[in-house]
Structure 1
Amino acid sequence: MELPHGFDNGRKEGKVCKLRKSLYGLKQSPRAWFERFTKTIMMHGYTQAQSNHTLFYHHNDGKVTILIVYADDIIVTRNDPMEMEQLKEKLAIEFETKDLGPLRYFLGMEVAGNKSGISVSQRKCILDILKEAGMLGCKPVDTPMDLIKKIGQQKESTPIDTGRYQHLVGKLIYLSHTRPNIAFAVGSIDDRRSTSGYCTFMWGNLVTWRSKKQTIVARSSAKAEFHAIANGMCELLWLKQLLREIGVKEEMPMKMYCDNR
């Protein structure tokens, strides 16, 4: 970053210029943008959820409008069409906006909805990974790689591109957010830590899920199970608070099931 033309005359060593606004690319810019958006949306009567600070909601005569913000992308859901149109007009006054219509694609996930429910997939993301790896025509196998094979072990083999390999593994780790069944395959098996997994359902619909390696080395299978149960319980408590904030009434107590015998 350099001083604009006309400001470099008479500059002294050890002196800096103070920015009066955030610039694109600075590490402070995302926070500054979110603070401004939060201030603007709350001025229009929306409340910031305590369970998720990127979620805002507005209640009006039994109807609710909910916003979820990720960087400069916004998802809006509601059962009040009039409030939604008013919200679009208000945001268009403060920010440069673009209405992309019904949700179809978000953060690498494809979203499809109909009367029976909503489905989420990452088909496009998977195809992009296969194309990048040159494996579009490959056939699926149960074990993609020999567990005891050391990459680059043979002297006559092609040199391994470490950066490209790590890049592809990183994409697979991101993919595991919606495909928890591959979380174990893309994790390290040398640290002796167990993998916890849980999923939560509301009215028969899957709403949250997670599969993640534990931060501790459990010295027994029972301890690993209890650690996973604790994580699942924290998720239930968080979900309970979120539902209360957006106005969803609790009809029945939450139940937790564990596959430990």
Structure 2
Amino acid sequence: MEPPVAFLPALWGKVLRLKKALYGMCQAGRCWWIFLYSILERLGFVATEVDQSLYIFRNRVSIIVIWIHVDDSVIMSNTPSTISNFRSALCAELNIKWLDKMTQIVGLECVFGKGEVVMTQKHLMEGILEAYPQQLIQCDAPLPVLPMGATAPAVKTLDPTPF
């Protein structure tokens, strides 16, 4: 990286070494992940083998599951006191914005009901429909609405050769 000439004229023509990641740089995401991983590890969390954005903490009574996407996360636990203790520990390490009830994450709107969470992409779909109105094919329900765990009826497959 070359320093701006007006910043320090004496450094003109020199190359500087960055000692920390800059927001928006390619390395920033990796540096943030390493930093956050070290904090979560210190707090007793373990990253799952399948997904390095999913962390789990277990003790005899409770469990906390954290899913992280860039600088957003979803934190779930079987006991409210466990989340409260985790929140205190995390706030001691980081300056964070904490929402008690998630309304959206990664473009998904989340509505909490009794024993269920409904996730939709209504806002995303409305944006697509607004951006590409000429390419609409109207139908009442693009996919059959099936109960959880039910399988859809068999569908005739197409030969992919012509495509």
What is the TM-score normalised by the length of structure 2?
A: 0.75
Greater RCO (Cα-Cα under 8 Å, separation 6 or more): 1
CA positional deviation for 1:6? 5.0
For each residue in 1:11-51, what CA deviation from the matched residue of structure 2 results, as whole angstroms up to 9, or x when unmatched? 44xx4110111111110000000110000111011111112
Q: Residue in 2 aligned with 1:101? A: 100
AA paired with 1:133?
Y
Over the matched positions of the two proteins, sequence identity in percent amounts to 21
Q: Residue in 2 aligned with 1:123? A: 122
CA positional deviation for 1:57? 0.9
For residues 141-156 of structure 1, the aligned pairs below 5 Å read 141=139
For residues 149-168 of structure 1, the aligned pairs below 5 Å read none
CA positional deviation for 1:139? 7.7
Which SS does the other structure have where 1:28 is aligned?
Answer: helix
Q: Residue in 2 aligned with 1:230? A: none
Residue 77 (str. 1) matches residue 76 (str. 2): yes
5+ residue gaps, structure 1: 143-178, 182-203, 207-216, 220-261
Which SS does the other structure have where 1:120 is aligned?
Answer: strand
**Rounded Cα–Cα distance in structure 2 between residues aligned with 1:78 and 1:30:** 26
Which SS does the other structure have where 2:26 is aligned?
Answer: coil
AA paired with 2:124?
C
AA paired with 1:3?
P
Which SS does the other structure have where 2:66 is aligned?
Answer: strand
Q: Residue in 2 aligned with 1:39? A: 38
AA paired with 1:67?
I
**Rounded Cα–Cα distance in structure 2 between residues aligned with 1:77 and 1:124:** 25
- Please, what is the CA RMSD of the aligned residues? 2.8
CA positional deviation for 1:3? 1.7
**Rounded Cα–Cα distance in structure 1 between residues aligned with 2:121 and 2:38:** 34
AA paired with 2:99?
L
Bigger mean CA offset, 31-40 vs 84-93? 84-93
AA paired with 2:53?
T
The verdict on how the C-alpha distance between 1:10 and 1:100 changes in structure 2, with shifts beyond 3 A counting, is: closer
- What number of residue pairs does the alignment pair up? 146
5+ residue gaps, structure 2: 150-158
The verdict on how the C-alpha distance between 1:96 and 1:2 changes in structure 2, with shifts beyond 3 A counting, is: farther
Residue 9 (str. 1) matches residue 7 (str. 2): no
For each residue in 1:207-257, what CA deviation from the matched residue of structure 2 results, as whole angstroms up to 9, or x when unmatched? xxxxxxxxxx988xxxxxxxxxxxxxxxxxxxxxxxxxxxxxxxxxxxxxx
Q: Residue in 2 aligned with 1:140? A: 138
For residues 177-256 of structure 1, the aligned pairs below 5 Å read 205=148
**Rounded Cα–Cα distance in structure 1 between residues aligned with 2:137 and 2:11:** 67
Residue 23 (str. 1) matches residue 27 (str. 2): no
Which SS does the other structure have where 1:93 is aligned?
Answer: helix
